[in-house]
Amino acid sequence: MRYAVIDGDGLVVNTIVWDGESEWSPPEGHQVVGLSTDSFVGIGATYQSDGTFITNQTPIVVPTPPVGIDTSV
């Protein structure tokens, strides 16, 4: 599962993949919060006291080619 590592000011300083059970703990003064699989939270986001994140990251959308156009060239 993905987790956000959050510092004492509520700033996301890292995102990690962790099974949630292995022996590991965040650095002193930090906390981890689980992220959903469709979350776009990343470094620089802000964690709010209500459990939400504020982020200015825009999801990357990869366009699909129009039907009938040969893209194998």
Structure confidence by residue, pLDDT tens digits, 9-62? 999 999 999 998 999 999 999 999 999 988 889 999 999 999 999 987 666 677
8 A C-beta contact, residue 3 and residue 31:
no
Cα separation, 14 vs 6, whole angstroms: 7
- Residue 43 · residue 14 · CB < 8 Å: yes
**Contact, 53 vs 46, CB < 8 A?**
yes
pLDDT of residue 64: 74
Q: What angle do CA 40, 61, 52 make, to 5 degrees?
A: 20
CA distance linking residue 35 with residue 17, whole number of Å: 10
pTM attached to this predicted model: 0.73
